Amino acid sequence: MVRRIVQLLVGLCLYGAGCALTVRAGLGLDPWTVFAQGLAVQTGIGIGWITNIVGFLVLLLWIPLRQRPGVGTIANILLVGTSMQATLAVVPPFHGWLAQGAVLAAGVLCVAAASGLYIGAHFGPGPRDGLMTGLHGRFGWPIWACRLTVEATVLVVGWLLGGTVGIGTVLFAVFIGPLVHAALPLLDTR
């Protein structure tokens, strides 16, 4: 149990740090971070704090979908954005394609490893993943359709609000699935 709790906490903090690195790379973000950044641009609230707020609001969407949060769900809402905000406070923006590419790669690798850690701890899905599985369970839509619909929506809305979409967005989309697929069996506590 102690190992699972530590793994959950480390994974969620690492996830936020990885997202922060992709922000500092400045080449484009994953859809939910584009959305958070767009809201941050519009409100003046830090992107990490917006990430926490969005996580809580997404959790409210679970109610009509009849999803139940786990300890990991609540920890996700509290830690990912907080870790992201703390990382952004100490890591400066990077300039130049080589540096930006290296920081983007580091961020994507951190997010993949972090996903393996927190998912492998088996304390419940994050609020965004629970939204996807809740839509699937409630309406019977295929998982891929739920994921695509939700992520495309937050990507477009985030971009319209001023979030960064670019080559990093594409690279994240291409590489995150295979990297998480490789990380999960290595970090699964079962």
Residues 123-136: tens digit of each pLDDT = 988 888 888 888 88
Residue 40: predicted pLDDT: 98
Tell me the chain's radius of gyration from C-alpha atoms.
16
**What pTM was estimated for this model as a whole?**
0.90
Q: What is the pLDDT of residue 65?
A: 85
* Across 30-57, average pLDDT: 97
| Average pLDDT score over the chain | 92
- pLDDT tens per residue, range 149-183: 999 999 999 999 999 999 999 999 888 888 888 88
DSSP string, 20-63: HHHHHHTS---HHHHHHHHHHHHH---HHHHHHHHHHHHHHHHH
